[in-house]
Structure 1
């Protein structure tokens, strides 16, 4: 049996996730749960612009499109870097930059 990795939310990611509509929140929880068990989300893509090993969970519901950016390559936890509602086809530079900063900060903590 695979151990379940804990989830650690970075910065405001948990508060940001909490403002998702209930259906998107439930789906995000389900997808993060799959990652915790060592699996992959149903709909994801690599986010190499944020950092190596960073992925984006893609969630769509009747209200809109939502994203959860995370990294699971470390043994100790699944780190959720950023959660947001996607308003355009292209992910905004602000969202990418925020996730990238949280990723860099995480790497600094892990290396200490």
Structure 2
């Protein structure tokens, strides 16, 4: 079997990257993180977590309908600092229930207060 030389299709002759391609991990700072430098903080540090958004959507749905039985395909719109956010509430409930062993006691208490007691 003949082995053909591998070609880096993103590099030009001379080792320079073509326009629109990204440099390798070491060139973008992975080495600095591995060496002990603190990773950058996310820009969304003040925004609610996915769990908090789902909880708010569930509370809004329960207040409007009087039930926590949500169809899997339901999408709930909740107000946010940036306007309105769509939460796939049915999918969120399904995923949260399947991962309930990883939830904290506080999160389980918050769900139980809304009518979802999975303990």
Query: Could you say whether these structures have the same fold, taking a TM-score greater than 0.5 normalized by the shorter chain as the test?
Result: no
More strand by share: 1
Scaled by the length of structure 2, the TM-score of the pair is 0.25
Scaled by the length of structure 1, the TM-score of the pair is 0.26
